[in-house]
Amino acid sequence: MISDDAKRTFRRENEAYVFSLKDLGLSFRVDRLRRERHELNGELAVDCDMAGARTVGGSLSVADFNLSSLIARKSRAMHLQDRSRAPDVDWVGLIEELCQRVLAEERAGTPSVSLRDIPRPTGDAAVSVLGVPLLLAHPMILFGDGGSSKSYLALYMATELARQGIRVGLLDWELDGGDHRVRLEAICGGAMPDIRYKRCDRPLVHMRDEVQRMVRVDRLGYLICDSIAFACDTKPEDAEAAQRYLQTTRSAGVGSLHLAHISKAEGGDQKPFGSAFWHNGARATWFVRAGEPDQDGRIVLALHNRKANLTARRVPQGVAVTFTEGSTTFASMDLQDDPDAAAELPVPLRIRQAVKHIPLTRDAIAEELPDVTVQTLNRVLRREVQMGRLIRLPGVGDAERFGVRA
């Protein structure tokens, strides 16, 4: 912050600059800064409480402004003088001072610091819900095919965060408030937590200011955005679209979960649909696959951790979702208990699960995993022993057994 005295201050607020003159009742705010043809442009808002000034809700003027242009400075000063009806104010001098200070700050940038002097983060870095670590300061993506219960699962996660005292906001481009209200009651009954909801009809990058305000006013600690494809300002295949979207997300200053779809191409379950920057820019990504409903109205969700930058990469997590009249329950489950989901688990995990309770011979393990070739089985067993995750135990004759460490 630069401060001349108590009546005249120049400071930075997040991504904006504010120049305040209390003795004149004026405040200049420059926001949405960007470089265009080597010139610095932004949105200049001028608030004024001078008697007789022609303001709208306290604002004398709000318009785009080229801070690098001398002509633009003089033109804006004349406009402000006319709107304020205050010819004695040195508007040219004030605009000139504002521009010089902003340009100097932008050129100087943020000073470097020693990593060892940065305080360690306080509080939890993540909250685990159904085995999924929800990062409280970074964006992550949950992606899957249409109809895989992503939105329902995300709403359940919101209720669990709320129960732990974390206020959650839901930004919705796909459904509407009534749909989510019905689902919330099905999950929680009458004891519904306060999930803040906003129906969205514009791209997220165009909603930056109102999302920041929502986070601030509603005291939010987490955001859920449903979903990326509808919230993009251009096609999700564009790298620039992913970059702008994720930059806007980070400007909110809280952790966030973003729902996305998958590509129909081979390997579409490895990364979210669109540019590789979605997968690269998110700090964690999870793929969700939904099984077929059984006769009791239960479906099994298999959650696969495709990327984890800030936590250990998790083994696949199972979630049983049961739908009854007016009620929906979510519960963690072992994917080994579901034949369809178990067949998609990584081979090392399936082997460790097979010998979890009793050591087995190589032939017995092969019988437990009939879809795994002998070559793959031998290779994985050798690697798991080398990594110390399995141990060899003596058996009858040459039939050695494999087990897990006690």
- Residue 397: the pLDDT is 64
- Asked whether the predicted pLDDT for residue 219 surpasses 70, the reply is yes
Q: Three-state SS across the chain?
A: CEEEECCEEEEEECCEEEEEECCCCEEEEEEEEEEECCEEEEEEEEEECCCCCCCECCEEEEEEEECCCHHHHHHHHHHHHHHHCCCCCCHHHHHHHHHHHHHHHHHHCCCCCCHHHCCCCCCCCEEEECCEEEECCCEEEEEECCCCCHHHHHHHHHHHHHHCCCCEEEEECCCCHHHHHHHHHHHHCCCCCCCEEEECCCCHHHHHHHHHHHHHHCCCCEEEEECHHHHCCCCCCCHHHHHHHHHHHHHCCCEEEEEECCCCCCCCCCCCCCCHHHHHHCCEEEEEEECCCCCCCEEEEEEEEEEECCCCCCCCEEEEEEEECCEEEEEEECHHHCHHHHCCCCHHHHHHHHCCCCCEEHHHHHHHCCCCCHHHHHHHHHHHHHCCCCEEECCCCCCCEEECCC
In order of their start, the domains of the chain are 2-108 (no CATH), 126-335 (3.40.50.300), 346-403 (1.10.10.10)
User: What does the pLDDT average to over 142-167?
Assistant: 96
- Residue 6: the pLDDT is 61
Q: Whole-prediction pTM value?
A: 0.79
- Asked whether the predicted pLDDT for residue 188 surpasses 60, the reply is yes
- Residue 114: the pLDDT is 92
Q: What is the pLDDT of residues 72-109, one digit of tens each?
A: 999 999 999 999 999 999 999 999 999 999 999 999 88
Quickly state the pLDDT bin for 1 (edges 50, 70, 90).
very low
Higher pLDDT, 325 or 69: 69
